[in-house]
Amino acid sequence: MAIVDELAALQAETLAAIEAAADTAALDEVRVRTVGKSGTLTAYLRNMGSVPADQKAVVGKAVNAARNAVEEALEARKTALAAAELEASIDAAAVDVTLPGRSQRLGTRHLINRVTEEICDVFLGLGYTVADGPEVETDYYNFTALNAPADHPSRSLQDTFYVVDRSGEAASVRGESDVLLRTQTSGVQVHAMEDQQLPIYIVAPGKVYRRDIADPSHLPQFTQIEGLVVDKGITFGDLKGTLDYLCKAVFGPDRRTRFRAHYFPFTEPSAEVDVSCAVCGGEGCRMCKGTGWLELLGCGMVDPNVLQMSGIDPEEYSGFAFGMGVERAACLKYNVPDLRLLLQGDMRFLRQF
């Protein structure tokens, strides 16, 4: 049989084999068998030297044509098979997308510290710095420098934790000790007024202690944030605007505030601030005991005595101060029914925030 005929037969056979290959592996086998290094079609190419000269042109052309046809067919079949195989593997890899994902479980912040940080961030944005101070304070910084009368009931052993004084100095106030667990973070403000350059724009968050038995609405240890501004030209309107901004930032833009005149030794004039009730929107409901308002914090213009005690001229400077219980703010925001949850470390509680 002439070489050309042999080639035609081989080509036909190979094309049929390609068409019949069921998967890419079988196809590859066909490729190796025909156009591989020692493939049948390759052999013809290699043997071109032994083809008589007069047939060289014809045979060469036929070999190349066969080879091109085979390679084209291989490529086409390969593409088709690959697509089918990919599709099959994709089908096989489908998962139940409702199965839980795989993740590193993130921890959580404590509710009170989260709220504290949120409030501090509001004030950072307003250009305040965050100040802190010791939890064991002297009577002077906790009470006296804040204009609290010597006989004020809050200074009693009933209400304030006193600490053994190791200085060897005689106690000047109660007969027991001038050292106590701070009942408010106001001492930080006094230190700031004594030590810092004016103007002062600070918030002081921190733990405070009062002798209350732990129950759903009291803790002997809780968290306060106080703020202090001392500058030239500070007005009561500035106090209102600042706290109004705070309430909206923490509780939501549709909440309103109202200022009720009140009395604190540290400030004059003094006010308590209520935020409108979220449950009824101010209409009055059980949450707010029908008033439409929830008590949030105390504030006022810094009493001139307090400024003077810290060496600031009240004729030149004025200021405002406020103090809020973070637990109270958090409870208003999250409706936590029992404050003791905050100190138990119950994972089922902590994990919620």
Partner 1 sequence: MKVSLKWLSEYVDVPDDLKAFCDRLDLTGTGVEGVETLGAAFQNVVTAQVVGKERHPDSDHMWVCQVDVGPWNTDDDGNPAPLQIVCGAQNFQAGDHIVTALVGAELPGDIKIKKSKLRGVASCGMNCSERELGLGDSHEGIMILPEDAPVGVPFAEYRGLSDTVLDLEITPNRPDCLSMVGMAREVGAMYREDVTLPLFELEEARNKPDAHELVTVQIDDPVRCPRYTARVIKNVKVGPSPAWLAERVTAAGARSISNVVDVTNYILFLYGQPLHAFDYDKLESPDGKVHVIVRAAEEGEKLTTLDGEERALTPDMTVIATPERAVALAGVMGGLETEITDGSTTVLLEAATFEPGRTSRTSRNLGLISESSMRYERRVDDHPIAAYADAAAALLAEVSGGVVCPGLVDEYPLPTPSRELRFRIPRFCAMMGIDIPRADIVDILERLDCQVVAPAHAEALEVVPPTDRPDLEREIDLYEEVLRLWGMDQVPPTLPASPQRVGVLTDAQKLERIVNRAMTAAGLNETTTYSFAAPDELQKLRMAPEGLGEAVELINPMSTEQSVMRQSLIPGLLRSVAYNQAHGVKNVQLYETGVVFAAREGAKQPKERRKLAAVMAGAMDEPSWNSPAVPFDFFDAKGAVESLARELAIPKLRFKALDAQEAPHLQPGRAAQVLSGGSVLGWVGEIHPLAAQAYEAEAPIAAFELDLEALGRASRPARDYRDVPQFPAVTADIAFVVDEDVTNERLMQCMASAGGKLLDEVRLFDVYRDDERVGVGKKSMAYALEFRAPDRTLTSQEVEKAQEKLVKKVCGATGAEVRA
What is the closest distance, in whole angstroms, from the C-beta atom of residue 95 to partner 1 in the complex? 10
User: Residue 193 in contact with residue 230, Cβ under 8 Å?
Assistant: yes
Q: Residue 104, class by beta-carbon neighbours within 10 Å (0-12 exposed, 13-18 middle, 19+ buried)?
A: exposed
- The identity of residue 173, as a single letter, is V
Minimum CB distance to partner 1, residue 72 (Å) = 38
Residue number with CB closer to partner 1 (44 or 141):
141
Cβ-based nearer residue to partner 1, 33 or 240: 240
Shortest Cβ distance from residue 342 to partner 1 (Å)?
6
Given a contact cutoff of 8 angstroms between Cβ atoms, the answer to whether 205 and 224 are in contact is: yes
Structure tokens at 157: 């052993």
Round to whole Å and give the CA distance between 91 and 308.
Answer: 80
State in angstroms the smallest separation of the CB of 18 from partner 1: 40
**Nearest one of 249, 274, 146 to 204, comparing CA atoms:** 146
Nearer CB in complex with partner 1: 22/164: 164
Q: How far is the CB of 344 from partner 1 (least distance, A)?
A: 6
Q: Which is nearer to partner 1, 33 or 218 (CB)?
A: 218
Query: In this structure, how many other beta carbons lie within 10 angstroms of the beta carbon of residue 122?
Result: 18
Long-range contacts at 75-81 (CB < 8 A, ≥ 24 apart): 77/18, 77/19, 77/21, 77/27, 78/24, 78/27, 81/21, 81/23, 81/24, 81/27
Q: In the bound complex, what is the minimum distance in angstroms from residue 60's beta carbon to partner 1?
A: 45
Q: Which CB, 17 or 330, lies closer to partner 1?
A: 330
Q: How many CB atoms lie within 10 A of CB 227?
A: 27
Shortest distance (Å) from residue 221 CB to partner 1 = 6
Greatest alpha-carbon span in the chain: 130
Closest contact distance (angstroms) between CB of 51 and partner 1 is 47
> 261: helix, coil or strand?
strand
Q: Shortest Cβ distance from residue 9 to partner 1 (Å)?
A: 51
Q: Are the C-beta atoms of residues 11 and 40 closer than 8 Å to each other?
A: no
CA 249 vs. chain centroid, Å, equals: 16
List 230's β-bridge partners, or say none: 200, 319
Q: Tell me the sheet residues that pair with 181.
A: 136
For helices 236-251 and 111-125, angle between their N-to-C axes, nearest 10 degrees: 130
Choose between 29 and 231: whose C-beta lies nearer to partner 1: 231
Which residue number, 14 or 267, has a Cβ lying nearer to partner 1?
Answer: 267
Alpha carbon 195 to chain centroid, angstroms: 34
